[in-house]
Copies of this chain bind each other. A is one copy, B any other.
Amino acid sequence: MPYVNIKITREGATPDQKAELISGVTRLLQNVLGKNPQTTVVVIDEVDTDNWGIGGETVTVRRKRGQ
């Protein structure tokens, strides 16, 4: 019954990688807390780099500097 929301920048995660995140986090909740995987919900949000800030600036600006 857990609900997990994963937010990452939109920078090319593939369907396979997203499926791996979903299965991995579902298994983690089962292993650590005994949560039923059948009702574990995982939602991945991919966010444009213009819309993600860290250190007071956008990821777009950081990527241009090579960070």
Which residues of A come within 8 Å of B, CB atoms? 1-9, 13, 15, 17-29, 32-33, 35, 37-47, 50-61
Contact = CB atoms under 8 A, between A and B. Distances in A.
Contact of A3 (B21, B43, B57): B43
A18 to B, nearest CB: 6
Contacts of A57: 19, 22-23
Nearest to A35: B8
> Oligomeric state, in number of copies?
6
Given A15-B60, A51-B46, A8 B23 contact: no
Contact of A50 (B5, B18, B27, B32): B18
A1 to B, nearest CB: 6
